[in-house]
Amino acid sequence: MSYQGMGNPVFVLGDDSERTSGQDAQTSNISAGKAVAESVRTTLGPRGMDKMLVDSTGEVVITNDGVTILEEMDIEHPAAQMLVEVAQTQESEVGDGTTTASVLAGQLLAKAEDLLGQDVHPTTIVEGYAAARDIGYEALEDLVLEEELDDALLRTVAATSMTGKGTGDVNADALADLVVEAVRHVEGEEGANRDDVRVHTQVGAASSATELVEGIIADKEPVRDDMPRDVADATVAVINTELETREANADVEYNITSVDQLNAALDAEESELRRYAEAVRDAGVDVLVSQKSIDDRVAAYLAEEGILALESVAKSDVSDIANATGATVAGDVTELDDADLGAAEHVHVERFGEDELTFIEGGADASSVTLLVRGSTDHVLSELERAIGDAVDVVVVALDEEGVVPGAGCAEIVVADRIRSEAASIEGRAQLAAEAFADALDVLPRTLAENTGMDPIDALVDLRAANESGRAGLITSGEHGEIADPVEHGVIDPVAVKREALGSATEAATMIARIDDIISAE
Ligand code: ADP
Ligand code: MG
């Protein structure tokens, strides 16, 4: 492209760049966004279907999780990529509702396309959508349940987020129990810290064998078989340096001319290695956790001293173990002092099939817990890990943000109705956009109905009517759906999940609708 001004042309873009403008740009962006949203629509709700994603290396992921599907898909279109970001924001902010947010964003785009077709200006759409979203926020606040957030209610919230996620109906309740117990365990004055609940997966047993461990699990076995495997009231040291001779590190050459010299050099090396083990013993350490490797000979000395040592422990595990036990990560074992050391009530090694795991329980400093998630195959386990992760997130978020709302499409219907009735007060054409926003929200209950095999039009009409006189959602239990009170049926979502979905979907849709020029470099 060039600008032919006075004199020489000014080249603004490179020769290879492509440009799409105006309506073409809008249509192309909107179609891409809609297509992406459509791809996850069938996974919404308890009877949503799973997707099998195969990447270029043949790796298979089977999932029902919106954000996972979108991340695994190889999406290149920049506008479509924005929908992936909606799901990612939703996941990082609140941990659940990723399908809801992307499906809503897609529908807001579809409605925006209609509005553009009726010559409503993009800025007016943005204005109307924002006004509708704000009405929606207020309606959500009014929907927050009065009930106290006790364990029973939190279990319901956890179970709602897990339904349809490969947990199996029988197990969801038991897993929800564990999730609530885990969060309660780490809850402090200022709520619960999400990172204190760790999830560790271990293949080889049914999901019903999932258990809560009051501590941290390291995916490691002791460096040597003759080390202790069970230590009570353990003093724990955590280091992040290698335990081997300095020479081995520096790669120096010995310049040796006699057997005596050779022996002297070997002795020096040997005594240096022994000094490490002795220093650890003298500091009173029972369990040594190292982020780096430990030389075989040091390990042998440590074993002689009756010390349980773990080597090459993942960095994140190292810092979590240090946090939980109250140890500081040290760089030099020969200078360990009391302030560096931590403590744990019980450190023990357990065998699971071919793997051995080390449990560090009852840390002196922080109450970290680990959900040891079991599953019969890796695919089952990965999906379960995502489901349980979501459940932990929603319980933390429900506690944090102080509130939950009825699920199963109830919140969306009520919010849409409120927007319709208040849209009248919005001036000009933005009113049309606000009404379109309300219609877009209907996609969520409609999709729930479709995925349950209900007639979507009848279901929506009935659902609206039922909400005039009470509180109603499209409750799925087993094979069929019915219109009933979500709270009574234990279908409850954190208000933060719904709020975030409204916000991030609106943001993405308006951002895409406002673009009227795509300039891409080759
Ligand atoms: P998301 O990625 O948006 O969380 P999900 O597939 O988890 O998508 O579906 C979430 C929706 O399913 C929520 O609106 C929730 O209220 C609803 N839901 C959960 N359990 C039930 C149920 N038993 N009956 C009807 N709706 C349910
Ligand atoms: Mg969910």
Cα(454) to ligand 2 centroid in Å equals 20
Alpha carbon distances (Å) from 408 to 459, 467, 488: 12, 12, 12
pLDDT score at 10: 66
Strands 211-213, 215-218: pairing is unpaired
Q: Which DSSP state fits 165?
A: S
Residue 371's contacts (CB-CB under 8 Å, 6 or more residues apart) are: 178, 179, 182, 197, 198, 199, 200, 210, 211, 212, 213, 388, 392
Residue given tokens 């279109």 in the structure block: 77
The tens digit of pLDDT for each residue in 144-165 reads 998 888 899 999 999 998 887 7
Cα(387) to ligand 2 centroid in Å equals 8
Domains of the chain: 13-145+405-520 (1.10.560.10), 215-375 (3.50.7.10)
Residue 506, pLDDT above cutoff 90: yes
pLDDT score at 254: 61
Residue of 44, 143, 474 to test ligand 1 pocket, by largest number of atoms within 8 Å of CB: 44
Quote the CA–CA distance of 42 and 451 in Å, as a whole number. Answer: 6
DSSP string, 436-499: HHHHHHTHHHHHHHHHHT--HHHHHHHHHHHHHHS--EEEEETTEEEEE-TTTTT-EEEHHHHH
Catalytic residues: 65, 98-99, 390
Handedness of CA 113, 118, 119, 122 (dihedral sign): negative
Q: Where are the beta strands (DSSP E) in 115-250?
A: 197-203, 211-213, 215-218, 230-239
Q: Is 354 within 8 Å of 298 (Cβ atoms)?
A: no
Q: Is 404 within 8 Å of 492 (Cβ atoms)?
A: yes
Residue 67, pLDDT above cutoff 60: yes
Atom of ligand 1 nearest to the CA of 103: 3
pLDDT score at 27: 79
The tens digit of pLDDT for each residue in 100-155 reads 999 999 999 999 989 988 989 889 999 999 999 999 999 999 999 988 888 999 99
Distance of CA 462 to the CA centre of its chain: 35
* Token pair of 204 as six digits: 């080889």
Residue 1, pLDDT above cutoff 50: no
Neighbours of 471 (CB within 10 A): 17
At residue 311, the 3 state secondary structure works out as coil
The residue type at 224: R
- Position 249 confidence tier, pLDDT thresholds 50, 70, 90: very low
Range of lowest pLDDT (266-275, 417-426, 471-480)? 266-275
Alpha-helical runs (H) found in 335-455: 378-400, 410-423, 430-441, 443-452
Atom of ligand 1 nearest to the CA of 64: 6
The tens digit of pLDDT for each residue in 458-496 reads 999 999 999 998 899 999 887 788 899 999 999 999 999
Handedness of CA 180, 185, 188, 193 (dihedral sign): negative
Q: At what angle do helices 98-117 and 22-41 cross, to 10 degrees?
A: 150
Which residues' Cβ are closer than 6 Å to ligand 1? 43-46, 48, 66, 96-100, 160, 163-164, 407-408, 448, 474-476, 491, 493
Neighbours of 194 (CB within 10 A): 16
Instruction: Kindly state the average pLDDT of the residues 413-424.
Output: 94
Ligand nearest to the CA of 477: 1
pLDDT score at 481: 85
DSSP string, 15-43: TT-EEEEHHHHHHHHHHHHHHHHHHHHTT
| pTM of structure | 0.82
Q: Is 365 within 8 Å of 326 (Cβ atoms)?
A: yes
